[in-house]
Structure 1
Amino acid sequence: MGTKKVTKKDIMSATEKEHREYLANESIFKKAFMYISMAVLFPLLEMIYFTLFFIYLLYTYPLLRPFLLLYLTNMYLILDGAPSWSGSNPLSRFYRNPSVHDFFRSLPFWKWSRLYFNASLIKTSPLNPSANHLLCYHPHGIISMGLQTSLGMDACNFKSNFPGINRHVATLVASFKIPLFREWILLHGFVSCGSETMRKILTTPNASLVLVPGGANEALYSHPGTFKAHIMRRRGFCRIALQTGCAIVPVLGFGENELYYTIDNEGDGVGGWIYRWQVWGMKKLSFSFPIMTHVLPRREKIVVVVGGPMGGPYDESGMIMEGEVKRIEEPTTEEIDELHGRYVKGLEELWNKHKDEYGKGIKFECA
């Protein structure tokens, strides 16, 4: 008897099969609306929209030019300190206001992003609202759509799942050099990813931070069917966690790497040559240039799993207790390595626990 050929459908998880049915049952009008909404909300396109609108105002309304030029001067030369969580002027304090962040994160149109990906947020452990947390998201993907939908915005009900957690999202400093887009992300609680900014936030009572430790390098390994966490050489976040006494929370974005087809950067062929060029550009500019085959992300299922806090000890409910995380002003290499090793182990355990349900057929690797 011949061996039955294994198809993609045979290795689909129950979650993926449910997602295929979800897409198949959509009307043509809903499909069209989903793509139009993503074209409006997609971060890379938002940068272009805001820049074009600023140029339009600059060249169309002469009376506004002095104010727009003053705005550019403030953004590039003076700076109000808002992205780095510094500055005592009213505008900087306004951008740091958690109530402002909650309002913009809860705007109704962010739910469209959840519907586009049929995204969901999985809570595995409660988080103590009185403690500081460093939520580390993997993988980066092309543009971290899972992070934006579930952690950056409230589209997947983060606020109700983790009440009292006042979170901020760390992103590239370059994002705050784009006119008007800068204000848009500040209103949603985004901050620069500088180490000093991270320390300020993680030593502020009732403040937590969302970070993508793999960064730009991890984005270059965003290929469907793979989940490569570029973490083995990244220890800076562990140093900051020890210096601030915060708890590290591993977060996995299942489906993040499925959103784009990208050029294979393995080997010595064209892909390998392009990868070397990308690495060179990343070192010069601090951000990478992944090459994908389309602009809008594919409508693949995204499931973001938030793990338990690492740092202990914990109370009976599994919540890390306030003030119980050991804070070390100048951690040694051994202490950093020990925490890093525990984090990698915790990340792998979180993957193994949920891979059959959300990541079936995906190759996981800590690189």
Structure 2
Amino acid sequence: MRLQFAPLRLPLRRRLQTAAVLQWVFSFLALAQCCLALYLLLLLGEGWLLALGYAAWLYLDWETPSRGGRRSAWVRGWGVWRYFRDYFPITLVKTSELDPSCNYLFGFHPHGVLVAGAFGNFCTEATGFSQLFPGLTPHLLMLPFWFKVPFFRDYLMSGGLVSSEKASMSYLLSHEGGGQVAVVAVGGPPESLDAHPGALTLQLRNRKGFIKMALRHGVALVPVFSFGENELFHQVPNPQGSFIRTLQEWLQKVMGLALPLFHARGVFQYNFGLLPFRRPIYTVVGAPILVPRTPHPSREAIDKLHETYLEKLTQLFEEHKTQYGLPQDKHLTLT
């Protein structure tokens, strides 16, 4: 295979876009390890007093990721996120008005490899969430494990990320006065293993916890589909039943983390690397599904609302797929 190198002469904005995405990929893949190493160096070195002070702070602040987090408008508004947005580019599409006096549960699909669309739209202001949905505050839910890493947890929360624990979601959805949005990548890490270009497989049939939560709190469900999310990376072939897939699923059960073996392009060449391809992402926010408050929902009520949600999500996909580059004969596969 012949290497395809990036041109030597590129506009500065293109180089800045690549740099912005490079730091984002680094933050997903290695920043947590670097933060942990930094903390251990401080603890075992001359900075031990600072490390102990942070440990005391961590003890007092332990519940914050499950109580709305600690977002920073300054971090969310960094200029680097505009370059990150334009690399793909990412576009947030509004299809319906949302009442800011209510709380909402957004179901985000598909997960993709690194949930680029969810991060760009809900953890930064680069795509104009606050202008499109005034009065609403988005919180992207993430595995609790990451909020135990020193320093890294604070960086995560500054963008609006919070723990995906049930208590965390309940805290947001029960907020008096409304205005809170809990964004859940419903397929979770296991769905990332199906994130191949052209794939439209969503792990949804047995995912009903978010439905039960919506009923308990009486909050509207909003289906969100991110067109282009699965086009950003290639994965090593891992069909169901293969050795690689079996190993990945076993590791996911043991560690709680999915480990997709992905690759795309590099910084200076386009043939291999861990940077995503430049593919457009259109994240379409659907109309709210009104949900009656049911403190103790029955299985029948959960199943009925679940079916309604699947219908509305499928309808959202079908109505917009041709507009965002998919042929008419492409359909979702719900597993």
TM-score range, shorter chain: 0.7 to 0.9
Q: State the 1:363 CA deviation.
A: 4.9
Instruction: Provide the residue aligned with 1:330 in structure 2.
Output: 296
Determine the C-alpha separation between the residues in 2 that align with 1:81 and 1:53: 20
8 Å contact from structure 1 (residues 142, 219) kept in 2: yes
**Pair 1:209-2:182 in alignment:** yes
Q: What do residues 57-77 of structure 1 show as CA deviations (whole Å, max 9, x unaligned)?
A: 7537944222214434664x6
8 Å contact from structure 1 (residues 172, 192) kept in 2: yes
> Which of 298, 308, 312 is the matching residue for 1:342?
308
> Which of 170, 192, 209 is the matching residue for 1:219?
192
Determine the C-alpha separation between the residues in 1 that align with 2:109 and 2:163: 18
For the structure 1 residues 328 and 259, does the alpha-carbon distance in structure 2 shift closer, same or farther, using more than 3 Å as the test?
same
Q: State the 1:114 CA deviation.
A: 0.7
SS in 2 for 1:125: coil
Instruction: Provide the residue aligned with 1:299 in structure 2.
Output: 278
8 Å contact from structure 1 (residues 51, 180) kept in 2: no
> Which of 47, 50, 56 is the matching residue for 1:64?
47
Q: State the 1:289 CA deviation.
A: 0.5
8 Å contact from structure 1 (residues 247, 310) kept in 2: yes
Determine the C-alpha separation between the residues in 2 that align with 1:181 and 1:365: 36
Q: What do residues 323-355 of structure 1 show as CA deviations (whole Å, max 9, x unaligned)?
A: xx4111110000000000000000000000000
Instruction: Provide the residue aligned with 1:33 in structure 2.
Output: 16
8 Å contact from structure 1 (residues 134, 208) kept in 2: yes
**Pair 1:273-2:207 in alignment:** no
Instruction: Provide the residue aligned with 1:290 in structure 2.
Output: 260
8 Å contact from structure 2 (residues 13, 83) kept in 1: no
Instruction: Provide the residue aligned with 1:91 in structure 2.
Output: none
Instruction: Provide the residue aligned with 2:225 in structure 1.
Output: 252
Instruction: Provide the residue aligned with 1:316 in structure 2.
Output: none
**Pair 1:170-2:141 in alignment:** yes
Give the partner amino acid of 2:313: L
For the structure 1 residues 249 and 73, does the alpha-carbon distance in structure 2 shift closer, same or farther, using more than 3 Å as the test?
same
8 Å contact from structure 1 (residues 47, 181) kept in 2: no
Q: State the 1:40 CA deviation.
A: 1.4
Determine the C-alpha separation between the residues in 1 that align with 2:217 and 2:35: 40
Instruction: Provide the residue aligned with 2:214 in structure 1.
Output: 241
Name which one, 1 or 2, has greater alpha-carbon Rg.
Answer: 1
Q: State the 1:119 CA deviation.
A: 1.2
SS in 2 for 1:330: coil
Instruction: Provide the residue aligned with 1:55 in structure 2.
Output: 37
- Structure 2's unaligned 5+ residue stretches are 1-6, 264-272
Determine the C-alpha separation between the residues in 1 that align with 2:22 and 2:181: 30
Instruction: Provide the residue aligned with 2:97 in structure 1.
Output: 126
SS in 2 for 1:208: strand
Instruction: Provide the residue aligned with 1:320 in structure 2.
Output: none
> Which of 163, 171, 175 is the matching residue for 1:200?
171
Determine the C-alpha separation between the residues in 1 that align with 2:146 and 2:221: 25
Determine the C-alpha separation between the residues in 1 that align with 2:90 and 2:20: 15
8 Å contact from structure 1 (residues 254, 304) kept in 2: yes
**Pair 1:114-2:121 in alignment:** no
8 Å contact from structure 2 (residues 35, 150) kept in 1: no
Determine the C-alpha separation between the residues in 2 that align with 1:53 and 1:190: 17
8 Å contact from structure 1 (residues 134, 211) kept in 2: yes
Q: TM-score, normalised by structure 1?
A: 0.80
Q: State the 1:182 CA deviation.
A: 0.7
Instruction: Provide the residue aligned with 2:155 in structure 1.
Output: 184
- Identity of aligned pairs, percent? 30
CA root-mean-square deviation: 2.4
For the structure 1 residues 236 and 59, does the alpha-carbon distance in structure 2 shift closer, same or farther, using more than 3 Å as the test?
closer
> Which of 319, 324, 329 is the matching residue for 1:353?
319
Determine the C-alpha separation between the residues in 2 that align with 1:199 and 1:343: 20
8 Å contact from structure 1 (residues 249, 307) kept in 2: yes
8 Å contact from structure 2 (residues 36, 149) kept in 1: no
For the structure 1 residues 45 and 208, does the alpha-carbon distance in structure 2 shift closer, same or farther, using more than 3 Å as the test?
closer
- Structure 1's unaligned 5+ residue stretches are 1-23, 87-94, 312-324
SS in 1 for 2:221: strand
SS in 2 for 1:239: helix
Q: Which moved more, 1:152-161 or 1:355-364?
A: 355-364
Higher percent of residues as helix: 1
